[in-house]
Amino acid sequence: MPQHFIVIIAGGKGERFWPQSRAPRPKHLLPVVGSKPLLAQTIDRVKPLVPAKNIYVITSAIQAKAVREVCKGIPAANIIAEPVGRDTAAAVGLAAAIVAVRDPQGIFAVLPADHVIHDGKSYEADLRAAFAAAEADAVMVTIGITPTEPATGFGYIQRGEKWKSFNRRPVFRVKRFVEKPKQAVAEDYLKAGDYVWNAGMFVWSVPVVETALAQHAPELDAALKPIRVALAKKRPLAGVLKKAYPTLPKISVDYALLEKSKNVVVLPSSFDWDDVGAWPAVCKHFTPDSAGNVSRGLAVVEQGSNNLVFSEGGHLVTVVGLDDLIVVHTADATLVCPKSKSQEIKALLKKVEALKGGAKWL
């Protein structure tokens, strides 16, 4: 029987959660929702599925130290630091090479580090079904999220006919992947009922990934060869990655492999899910006051409604007579913006970076 592995991708910047989220300690390393960092919550959810030695975390060099602090109980060698970011296809190729050394037929899940999921039992059951599907045939298994609204911020997967069932979970063939749609199109997808959100969760075997890389991403496949050789010969990985990684094409696994492959299936999830993509998404995970205000830390709102107010370090933040604001105070920076402008924080950071010494706030 092939071994099962979990690979968690933890390299994002989390810019929309500035000023709490910074390059060395972004969203997945913060307790944005809950009492633990999101990465720690992800690890807790997968611990019932595989032993700790079979859990890997791929992160960036700038975050590696903080990630190791969060990943207590995970072998230090299982925290892999990419010297430069090369998007998810490179991370998947690296993961396949690492797992192949442990088990050439191994099956591994690729999971984001920064999603919020409360129903751990259903999550575990869905992943077990996905592993069973990947073990049953040479398929790429995606876990799709059943839409709850006509969201325009996610890619969608259209499912086709039913393929098989595993652990009483139906799995469907994938008809197509579609980009983030406009509002009217998203509304049509929701009404159609055969579309799910692409949550970036995949389960597949090493041979399936290696075959797809060779067929659909030969440039990336060739560039990964020095890494595979180093792993096979048990050479130190850091030096090899530093030399090889800048040569890897920068492309997502969706574009590089999934959208070009004919053996992709989708398992619609049975668990709750939120990618908490920006500050307003946090509100639904906290109990508001009678006026709809959500606060964390030392915060007071008077004659205001539907505000989100976060304060760190015992600093008192007060809001009077204002509605629908995001106010976030940290030790060295404060953000004030309407909820409706939360997606503009990334643009704001370009101006912050342009300030004299601006990099210290990023």
pLDDT per residue as tens digits for the range 130-171: 999 999 999 999 999 999 999 999 999 999 999 999 999 999
Q: 253 and 328 share a domain?
A: no
In a domain? residue 184: yes
Residue the block writes with tokens 């995001």 = 326
pLDDT band at 11 (very low <50, low <70, confident <90, very high): confident
In a domain? residue 274: no
Domain of residue 145, CATH code: 3.90.550.10
Distances (CA, A) of 238 to 227, 241, 290: 10, 5, 53
In a domain? residue 273: no
Q: Tell me the C-alpha distance between 219 and 225, whole Å.
A: 10
Which pair of structure tokens corresponds to residue 174?
């994938």
Q: Is there a contact between 113 and 28 (Cβ–Cβ < 8 Å)? A: yes
Q: 225 and 310 share a domain?
A: no
Write b or e for each residue in 183-192: b if 16 or more Cβ atoms lie within 10 A of its Cβ, otherwise e.
eeebeebbee
Of 268, 293, 315, the residue at which a domain comes to its end is 268
Q: 132 and 260 share a domain?
A: yes
Q: 249 and 294 share a domain?
A: no
Determine phi and psi for 25, rounding to 5 degrees: -145, 75
Quote the number of domains for the chain. Answer: 2
pLDDT given at position 14: 86
Which pair of structure tokens corresponds to residue 43?
């690890």
pLDDT given at position 306: 98
Q: 187 and 329 share a domain?
A: no
Q: Which residues contact 242 (CB under 8 A, 6 or more apart)?
A: 83
Q: 148 and 104 share a domain?
A: yes
| Side chain identity, residue 219 | E
29 lies in which domain range? Answer: 4-268
Answer whether residue 13 shows pLDDT above 90: no
In a domain? residue 76: yes
Q: At what angle do helices 206-216 and 87-102 cross, to 10 degrees?
A: 140
Q: Tell me the C-alpha distance between 348 and 112, whole Å.
A: 25
Of 221, 237, 268, the residue at which a domain comes to its end is 268
Greatest CA separation found in the chain?
Answer: 66
Q: 260 and 288 share a domain?
A: no
With H, G, I as helix, E, B as strand and everything else as coil, classify residue 180: coil
Closest CA to 310 of 33, 53, 104, 40: 33
pLDDT digits (tens, 9 = 90+) for 89-144: 999 999 999 999 999 999 999 999 999 999 999 999 999 999 999 999 999 999 99
DSSP single-letter state for residue 171? E
Q: 87 and 159 share a domain?
A: yes
N-to-C CA span, the chain:
46
Q: 257 and 300 share a domain?
A: no
In a domain? residue 288: yes
In a domain? residue 194: yes
In terms of Cβ atoms closer than 10 Å to its own Cβ (0-12, 13-18, 19+), residue 337 is: middle
- DSSP β-ladder status, 264-268 and 140-145: parallel
Q: 341 and 242 share a domain?
A: no
Bridge partners of 165, per DSSP, are 170
Q: 139 and 183 share a domain?
A: yes
Answer whether residue 12 shows pLDDT above 90: no
Q: Tell me the C-alpha distance between 288 and 296, whole Å.
A: 10
pLDDT digits (tens, 9 = 90+) for 48-81: 999 999 999 999 999 999 999 999 899 999 999 9
Bridge partners of 326, per DSSP, are 308, 337
Q: 91 and 211 share a domain?
A: yes
In a domain? residue 318: yes
Q: List strand residue ranges (DSSP E) for 206-330, in order.
A: 264-268, 294-296, 299-302, 308-311, 317-320, 325-329
Which pair of structure tokens corresponds to residue 358?
């601006």
DSSP single-letter state for residue 215? H
pLDDT digits (tens, 9 = 90+) for 196-253: 999 999 999 999 999 999 999 999 999 999 999 999 999 999 999 999 999 999 999 9
Bridge partners of 296, per DSSP, are 310
- DSSP β-ladder status, 325-329 and 308-311: parallel
Q: Is there a contact between 257 and 95 (Cβ–Cβ < 8 Å)? A: no
